[in-house]
């Protein structure tokens, strides 16, 4: 299970942060419908694959509920697709300069901002996110699909990463590769936002679903 901890200061800051929840909810609603149709899955079957209740998945598919990052990951796992396959697409030329300030958004009540810098490409097998954790943010994630490897590089602040059963502290510029298919997590114990890049690599043959 994903555990999400919000502390007072983080919540206050998160409330002021840019909130693109409605965009994410709308896109996810479309993608869920498309993914279910491609597979010919009933809502019940999809709910079982994702490990969420049928009622919750129905709400998300109708755009009535804004998913947390934890929930997004469960849905990606259930359908065997990449995280960015579920997020609003950002069209543009291959050589387009990606400005994270233009693509940051905050899912649901999470005290984090996600910027999909490079969406998943089946030919390359990876996606790159810029992630911002507000002070006090802590999340322990359930394992992603087998073979997923994450590469974390801190840009600003001090980040603590749960990897191999221990919390590891990373300073600015530090990088860490971790097994995304085991328990792992992220936390910001400091008083300022932490910004880091996360390159998520998927094993061949997985996440090759694109709508």
Report in angstroms how near the CB of residue 61 gets to Mn ion at its nearest: 24
The nearer residue to Mn ion, 129 or 157, going by C-beta atoms, is 129
Q: For residue 103, which of 76, 75, 131 has the smallest C-alpha distance?
A: 131
Between residues 38 and 183, which has the closer beta carbon with respect to Mn ion?
A: 183
Q: From the CB of 197, what's the least distance to Mn ion, in Å?
A: 13
Backbone dihedral region for residue 187 (phi beyond 0: left; psi -120 to 50: alpha; all else: beta) = beta
Under the binding rule (CB under 5 A), the answer on residue 84 touching Mn ion is no
Q: How far is the CB of 144 from Mn ion (least distance, A)?
A: 6
- By beta-carbon proximity to Mn ion, the closer residue of 46 and 200 is 200
Tell me which residues in 150-189 interact with Mn ion (CB under 5 A).
Answer: 180
Residue count, binding to Mn ion (CB under 5 A): 2
Residue number with CB closer to Mn ion (2 or 23)? 2
Q: How far apart are CA 141 and CA 3, in angstroms?
A: 7
CB of 95 to Mn ion, least distance (A): 29
Pick from 29, 66, 141, 188 the residue near Mn ion by CB under 5 A. 141
Decide: helix, strand or coil at residue 141: strand
Please tell me whether residue 121 adopts helix, strand or coil conformation: strand
DSSP 120-152: EETTTTEEEEEEEE-TT-EEEEPP-STT-EEEE
Which pair of tokens denotes residue 7? Answer: 């502390």
Question: In the chain, how many H helices and how many E strands?
Answer: 6, 10
Binding site residues, Mn ion, CB under 5 A:
141, 180
């Amino acid at each position: 299970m994903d555990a999400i901890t919000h502390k007072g200061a983080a919540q206050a800051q998160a409330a002021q942060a840019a909130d693109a929840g409605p965009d994410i909810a709308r896109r996810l609603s479309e993608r869920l419908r498309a993914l279910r149709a491609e597979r010919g899955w009933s809502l019940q079957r999809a709910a079982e694959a994702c490990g969420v209740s049928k009622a919750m998945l129905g709400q998300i598919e109708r755009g009535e509920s804004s998913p947390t990052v934890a929930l997004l990951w469960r849905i990606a796992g259930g359908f065997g697709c990449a995280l960015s396959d579920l997020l609003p697409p950002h069209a543009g030329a291959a050589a387009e300069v990606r400005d994270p300030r233009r693509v940051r958004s905050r899912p649901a009540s999470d005290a984090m901002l996600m910027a999909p810098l490079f969406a998943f490409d089946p030919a390359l097998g990876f996606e790159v996110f810029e992630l911002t954790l507000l002070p006090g943010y802590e999340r322990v994630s359930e394992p992603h699909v087998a073979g997923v490897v994450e590469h974390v590089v801190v840009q600003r602040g001090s980040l603590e990463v749960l990897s191999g059963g221990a919390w590891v502290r990373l300073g600015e510029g530090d990088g860490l590769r971790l097994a995304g298919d085991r328990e792992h997590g992220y936390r910001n114990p400091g008083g300022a936002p932490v910004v880091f890049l996360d390159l998520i690599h998927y094993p061949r043959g997985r996440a090759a679903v694109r709508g």
